């Protein structure tokens, strides 16, 4: 489609909004875009319909079909309602849970969604105020609901909001339901198709009782209560970064016995403007700056932070010099899995049926830990809905240990079917107590894991390409990588190429073509070299980004060798970045 045709199409869409039954504030915003000489905002606001990606519906708030507003939220909810009424037509009462985070308009969108569900005869359990995403998943299962939604844009900047849709097992919606819901949403052609007038009799407010039930399940995950008793006064700095974690994380830590939780007062303030950070993303060092500063002031031992909807955890620990260093998502996954396997073994809980899950872009060191300890490991696509899918398929025959991804998400226990920073915070604090009980720090534990299983350094690089032009550029980049795959990476020959779009792999050593066993296709490329380097490339499903994941490996035999291994690994990563031009 050329630019002129595209402009005609989006102009028509925008004019339909001016003539439709939309509120005056929305119409004024559309008029402003139509009247502007610069049509880039108009194009970006209307060039497509928002669709469910790896994290559901997510976008910038504002007027337009490609924006988050009461009409796109309304269409999604009406479409979901229509689908639920078809799928569960035999039920006397269909039920859903609605949660939301701290973002601007989140409560408004949650209440509008509650009205729409109830107007369609669906019973709604609406949380009284902001709550973590994992609690929504938990509530769906506990209340026997058929679906649920969470209003959140996770860790995105403040101008974003979003809509995560869940199915009756508490996991995010997968095929065929995701595509079928979109079909229903697309059938809604005008505002009048959305039932905005709610039925208050079908809306039930939930809160503290569900919180208490959730925390009771978190307590059951504790594997080292004696270590916590001995180190209950471990100094822990925790920040919710203005978000929903404040409602459950401190309470969960106290419930298992920790008594010295130090807050960051400025970040305990619930705000969708995120006044103390540029981005409320626990992956970014700047988001943890205030918490680390507080930890230095108070002589704390660990720092933990959660994103606005409290499904992801960021941490900082003290190194051998007593300085705070950030733990990345891969390292967090490595520490969690090592701890869970070690403690399960010590407690005599291993039966041979245990398994763990990681995403394909997560460190291969996880595979080594699982393999050496006789724990089956499943690889899945990015997005916790895929981990939940594996849990669902194995829940009657195998025992789930834990699962995680490099993007700072982890889940231990299967009472939730999404990543859970509440239980992850509890476990990380417990690991700190356990390592202290064993005369170590978490930093030393990680070093010892590297010595036993091999050193690994992982770096994620995201190139942001916004709008229609950005989406086209990302598509062109992926086409180019497929047309011109690297033969070698940083001087090491590529021995295996995986293309998840075609579900085909090529083994260059055996010269075999291999069919990849995955539930569906995905726009991901992976290259594995002879020296253990792994390169993964994929467009983000929730943000205007193309992502590169680089992992390099080496062997070390002592803690003293780790600094040199780190330096050599970074040098290799720098070479790879130069080769890729990123």
Q: Which residues belong to the active site? A: 154
Q: What is the DSSP letter of 362?
A: S
Bridge partners of residue 492, in order along the sequence: 489
Bridge partners of residue 528, in order along the sequence: 496, 534
Report the chain's terminal Cα–Cα distance, integer Å.
29
Residue ranges of alpha helices (H) inside 438-466 are 442-453
Q: What is the DSSP letter of 173?
A: P
Cα–Cα dist 361/451, whole Å: 22
Q: What angle do CA 366, 369, 373 make, to 5 degrees?
A: 145
Q: Establish how many alpha carbons lie within 13 A of residue 420's alpha carbon, considering only the half-sphere containing its beta carbon.
A: 33
Bridge partners of residue 378, in order along the sequence: 357
Q: What angle do CA 561, 563, 567 make, to 5 degrees?
A: 120
Bridge partners of residue 314, in order along the sequence: 305
Cα–Cα dist 310/305, whole Å: 9
Cα–Cα dist 139/533, whole Å: 41
Side by side, the strands of the sheet bearing 324-327 are: 261-263, 236-239, 302-306, 313-318, 324-327
Cα–Cα dist 341/362, whole Å: 18
Bridge partners of residue 161, in order along the sequence: 59
Task: Spell out the residues 6+ positions from residue 209 whose beta carbon is closer than 8 angstroms to its own.
Answer: none
Q: What angle do CA 470, 79, 87 make, to 5 degrees?
A: 125
Task: Spell out the residues 6+ positions from residue 398 whose beta carbon is closer than 8 angstroms to its own.
Answer: 353, 354, 355, 376
Task: Spell out the residues 6+ positions from residue 13 whose beta carbon is closer than 8 angstroms to its own.
Answer: 46, 65
Give the strand pairing for 409-411 and 512-515: unpaired
Q: Establish how many alpha carbons lie within 13 A of residue 27's alpha carbon, considering only the half-sphere containing its beta carbon.
A: 10
Query: What 3-state DSSP class applies to 106?
Result: helix
Strand (E) or helix (H) holding 367: helix 365-372
Cα–Cα dist 565/555, whole Å: 8
CB 315 within 8 A of CB 303: yes
Q: How far is CA 439 from CA 186, 434, 446, 531, in A?
A: 59, 9, 14, 35
Cα–Cα dist 547/360, whole Å: 13
């Amino acid at each position: 489609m050329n630019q002129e045709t595209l402009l005609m199409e989006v102009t028509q869409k925008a004019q339909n909004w001016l003539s439709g039954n939309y509120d005056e504030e929305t119409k004024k915003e559309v008029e402003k875009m139509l009247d502007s000489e610069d049509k880039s905002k108009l194009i970006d606001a209307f060039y497509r319909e928002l669709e469910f990606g790896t994290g559901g519906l997510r976008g910038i708030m504002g007027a337009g079909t490609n924006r988050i507003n009461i009409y796109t939220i309304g269409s999604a909810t009406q479409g979901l309602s229509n689908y639920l009424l078809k799928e569960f037509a035999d039920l006397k009462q269909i039920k859903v849970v609605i949660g939301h985070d701290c973002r601007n308009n989140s409560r408004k969108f949650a209440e509008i969604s509650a009205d729409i569900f109830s107007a369609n005869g669906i019973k709604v359990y609406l949380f009284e105020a902001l709550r973590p995403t994992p609690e929504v998943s938990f509530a769906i299962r506990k209340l026997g609901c058929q679906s649920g939604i969470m209003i959140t844009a996770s860790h995105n900047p403040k101008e974003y909001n979003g809509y995560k849709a869940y199915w009756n097992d508490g996991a995010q919606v997968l095929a065929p339901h995701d595509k079928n819901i979109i079909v229903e949403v697309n059938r809604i052609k005008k505002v009048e198709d959305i039932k905005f007038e709610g039925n208050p009799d079908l809306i039930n407010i939930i809160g503290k009782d569900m919180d208490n039930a959730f925390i009771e399940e978190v307590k059951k995950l504790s594997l080292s209560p004696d270590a916590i008793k001995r180190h209950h006064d471990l100094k822990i700095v925790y920040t919710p970064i203005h978000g929903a974690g404040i409602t459950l994380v401190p309470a969960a830590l106290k419930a298992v016995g920790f008594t010295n939780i130090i807050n960051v007062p400025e970040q305990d303030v619930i705000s969708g403007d995120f006044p103390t950070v540029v981005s409320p993303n626990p992956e970014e060092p700047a988001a943890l700056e205030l918490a680390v500063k507080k930890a230095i002031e108070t002589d704390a031992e660990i720092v933990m932070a959660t994103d606005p909807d409290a499904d992801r955890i960021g941490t900082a620990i003290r190194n051998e010099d007593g300085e705070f260093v950030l733990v990345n998502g891969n390292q967090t996954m490595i520490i969690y899995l090592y701890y869970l396997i070690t403690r399960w073994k010590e407690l005599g809980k291993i039966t041979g049926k245990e398994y763990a899950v990681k995403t394909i872009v997560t460190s291969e060191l996880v595979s080594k830990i699982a393999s050496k300890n006789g724990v089956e490991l499943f690889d899945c696509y990015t997005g916790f809905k895929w981990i939940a899918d594996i849990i669902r398929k194995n829940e009657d025959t195998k025992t789930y240990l834990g699962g995680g991804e490099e993007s700072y998400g982890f889940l231990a226990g299967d009472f939730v079917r999404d990543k859970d920073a509440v239980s992850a915070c509890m476990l990380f604090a417990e690991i700190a107590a356990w390592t202290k009980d064993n005369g170590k720090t978490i930093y030393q534990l990680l070093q010892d894991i590297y010595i036993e299983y091999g050193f690994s350094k992982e770096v994620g690089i995201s190139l942001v390409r916004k709008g229609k032009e950005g989406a086209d550029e990302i598509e062109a980049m992926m086409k180019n990588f497929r047309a011109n795959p690297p033969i070698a990476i940083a001087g090491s020959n590529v021995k295996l190429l995986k293309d998840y779009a075609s579900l085909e792999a090529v083994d260059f050593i055996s010269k075999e073509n291999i069919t990849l066993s995955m539930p569906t296709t995905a726009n991901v490329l992976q290259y594995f070299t002879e020296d253990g380097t792994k390169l993964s490339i994929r467009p983000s499903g929730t943000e205007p980004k193309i992502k590169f994941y680089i992992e390099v490996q080496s062997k070390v035999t002592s803690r003293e060798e780790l600094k040199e291994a780190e330096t050599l690994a970074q040098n290799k990563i720098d070479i790879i970045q130069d080769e890729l031009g990123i």
